[in-house]
Amino acid sequence: MIETGDLSGELIAHLFGTHSDIFKNTYQILDSLFGLYNLQNNEEFNEWKNIFIKIYSEKNCNKELFLTHTYLTLLIKIILIRVVLSKIEFELIDLKNIFGLLNNFSNDFSDFERNFGNWIFLNVENNPKEINDMIKQLVLNLHFIYNSILKIKILREDLFHNIYQELVFASLRHLIGEFYTPSFLARKMIIKSYDFIEKVLDPACGSGTFIIELIKHITSKDTPLKNQISAINNIYGYDLNPFAVFISKINIFLLIKDLIPHCKINIELRDSLFPEENIENKFDLIIGNPPWLTYSSLESIEEQNKLKILVENLQIKPSPKNILNLDLSAVFFYQCRNLYLKNKGKIFFVITSGIITGSHNDRFRTFRGFRNIKIWTFTKEIFNVDFICLFAIKDKLNDKKSREELEQREIPVEHFDLKKSNSSFKIVKMKEDIYVPYTVVEKSRKFYVKKLISKEIKNKMYPYAKSHYFDLFHKGADLNPRNLIFIKFKKKSNTLALINVDKRILKKAKSPWNKIEYQNQIIEKKYIFKCAKSTELVKFNIFHTYNVFLPIDKYNLIWNPRSLSKYGSSFYELINQKYLKYKKKTTKHKSLMENLNRWGKLLNKRQFSDIKVVYNNSGSMLNAAVITGDYIITGDLSFLDTTNINEAYYLAAILNSPILSEQIKIRKSSRHIFKKALEFPIEEYNENNKIHKNLSEIGKIATLKSKEVCKKYTSNMNNSISKWEIQKQLHQILKPLFDKTDNLIHKMFYKSYAVKKNLDDF
């Protein structure tokens, strides 16, 4: 028993969470009762499952989640009884009747909310002694919970978010896009946006954090009680998760219990995106943290199709290549405007930072039907996901805005830092900024705003220019599945080799391609090819390569299964069968070789050039290197084949330059680089051009230095190699060369533009 202190959400999780003895013992009793009652076939379990299957999917609506919900329900209602009865002695003779007390408090609770958990009292009179003994122990456990909190003050906050997050696995919460909003952030947003007596909606209220902070904000005002009650009655919350709705109601009830029946608990079980009936209520302010889900995470094809139709109607549908990344929180922003917001009403959401940069939000960033857009950004992550706060006011729909109007839009941005203060965070404003569209593209009479960037940074950017080499670089071959063709080999004879899977490629592989499918196979050595991947690419060098089995004639660049030698033919047949067994039904390729040569990326003369320049297709930094010899290039790299080694070093110097990496980082909307590296005026190499020759010489020197550094790290094969350590060392050693490179590139690009730009700060 705790004699003094405050009962907070954090303390509840500490006392009764998964690591506590009371949870372990109670859960064990509930698990046993579940089996003894044969609850798998019971009406209450099936009713629960039918409700939550829409939320968590059938595979996740299992006994474990049901028992977790039961335990949390018992805990919540015991705390509720402690607050309502305030008795020193609490008789737990008939817990079922105590739950019925909710009827005396408020009519805002559904039958499901009142009765869930009563399954533990099935046929109490006729139960065998074994079950009744368990129920007695369960009652003692609940009595222990009650006595533990009897003498401590219950805080006015979201009491159950900590234990809910602990009991319901993060993977399951994130499956439905649940990310808890810290009260300090909700409070900051409310202070900035809420005007007293306004009608407010949180369309995905969860456990009620925003509503709790709103009520606390209202009751802290120096205004008459009747005005406070009117303001509280103007607060609404919707959510489609019945358990979140239940927790939210309990939280609010505990907060306003002294004002009932004058105050209402306006929390409704409702799908805000797809309401089943017309919504009459319109709101002055919509505030909250909608689900952070993507289109690809929706398990139902029906749900995906509904979402496609909705975003088409909202005119924010991404291009087909970006549809999988469609952000549900972005859909909420536009749909809430249409369904729930009054004219000139305000909307303020915690939302993913992809709204600013993601290519899947290109049409969202037209902000059709909004004005007075404002953005908050933060230096530290709260949700382990980058996020922003986005504010806007409802405006008239205007489909006549021109490209020029969109390009000239300026959005005020406030950048905040999160400072640790005691056990919480304090939000501190660091600076103000203005964001503008990077560029606006028009396709099929639709506008696409290609990310938002700082106006200051945009003024220092090189304009878009298509390089001479734009169409000369190509993606490498898609050599997948790697567990079938990436090999380690030992010489067996002059012509034969003993091969096994190269286990390095299994580390990040996904099922079903993360298993060893063969051992100690024999193949002809002529089918073993050297291969370069981006995972070992650093500035000016690839520090490790791979060996792959490819059943091709590299001199004639043909694939003919009938001409394969004995062992090569046998091994290919083995791995081809594995491929056909595990490939997706939607994959159209009819053989492994057809898959390896997708889009003709493998069987072409470029792959067998003796001199290649490669760079990584994705990542936060652009790396490039010159490769000499007959290496196959994989699809995570882009490459150019050339016969001029000086040209190769020239390109390596440019592609490795810090100034290019910085510019690409601003331009790209995701990790993907690909052609972004070539959207600059990189001139065709000319031996008579002094700048070109100097860059080529720098590329040659930097390549030698990089190989020396890499050799030190790779010479001791007993130690694991850190690519990050190599990169760090290279940046220090190559800095003088990088400075020269940036200066030369600036001169070359500067000559190519008709308009001078102040780029010296880069």
Are the beta carbons of 30 and 120 closer than 8 angstroms?
yes
283-297 b/e (C-beta count within 10 Å ≥ 16 → b): bbbbbbbbbbbbbee
Spatial separation of the C-alpha atoms in residues 223 and 213, rounded to whole Å: 17
- pLDDT at residue 4, rounded to an integer: 59
Burial class (CB in 10 A: 0-12, 13-18, 19+), 16: buried
List Cα–Cα distances, 331 to 273, 388, 399, in angstroms: 8, 16, 19
Write the pLDDT tens digit of every residue in 555-579: 777 888 889 999 999 999 999 999 9
Write the pLDDT tens digit of every residue in 295-336: 777 777 888 888 999 999 999 998 887 888 888 999 999 999
The residues, any chain, with a CB within 8 Å of residue 19's CB and separated by 6 or more, are: none
598 vs 424, more confident? 598
Q: What is the pTM of this model?
A: 0.76
Are the beta carbons of 448 and 427 closer than 8 angstroms?
no
What percentage of the chain reaches a pLDDT higher than 90?
52
Backbone angles phi, psi at 414, to 5 degrees: -115, 125
| Neighbouring-strand partners of residue 553 | 558
Would residue 520 be called left, alpha or beta, if left means φ above 0 and alpha means ψ between -120 and 50 degrees? left
Once rounded to an integer, what is the mean pLDDT over residues 283-298? 88
Structure token digits, residue 202: 């949180």
What percentage of the chain reaches a pLDDT higher than 70?
91
Once rounded to an integer, what is the mean pLDDT over residues 693-702? 97
* Confidence class for position 152, pLDDT limits 50, 70, 90: confident
Residue 601 has pLDDT above 50, yes or no: yes
Are the beta carbons of 486 and 547 closer than 8 angstroms?
yes
Structure token digits, residue 335: 């749909």
- pLDDT at residue 67, rounded to an integer: 93
**How is the chain split among helix, strand and coil, in percent rounded to 5?**
45, 20, 35
14 vs 698, more confident? 698
Q: Which amino acid is at 74?
A: L
DSSP-derived secondary structure letter, 585: T
- pLDDT at residue 2, rounded to an integer: 57
Once rounded to an integer, what is the mean pLDDT over residues 358-376? 94
Once rounded to an integer, what is the mean pLDDT over residues 566-594? 90
* Closest to 30 measured CA to CA, from 66, 80, 76: 66
The residues, any chain, with a CB within 8 Å of residue 215's CB and separated by 6 or more, are: 232, 235, 252, 255, 256
- pLDDT at residue 156, rounded to an integer: 79
Are the beta carbons of 214 and 231 closer than 8 angstroms?
no
Residue 57 has pLDDT above 80, yes or no: no
* Closest to 249 measured CA to CA, from 212, 216, 221, 300: 212
Are the beta carbons of 309 and 273 closer than 8 angstroms?
no
* Confidence class for position 105, pLDDT limits 50, 70, 90: low
Structure token digits, residue 294: 């993507």
Element (H, E) at 614: strand 611-616
| Low-confidence winner among 124-133, 370-379, 547-556 (lowest mean pLDDT) | 124-133
Residue 761 has pLDDT above 50, yes or no: no
Query: Helix or strand or coil: residue 403?
Result: helix
- pLDDT at residue 697, rounded to an integer: 97
Residue 678 has pLDDT above 50, yes or no: yes
Q: From start to end of 186-296, where are the E strands?
A: 200-202, 235-239, 267-269, 283-288
- pLDDT at residue 518, rounded to an integer: 95
Give the number of other CB atoms < 10 A from CB of residue 177: 18
Once rounded to an integer, what is the mean pLDDT over residues 72-86? 81
CA 155 to chain centre: 33
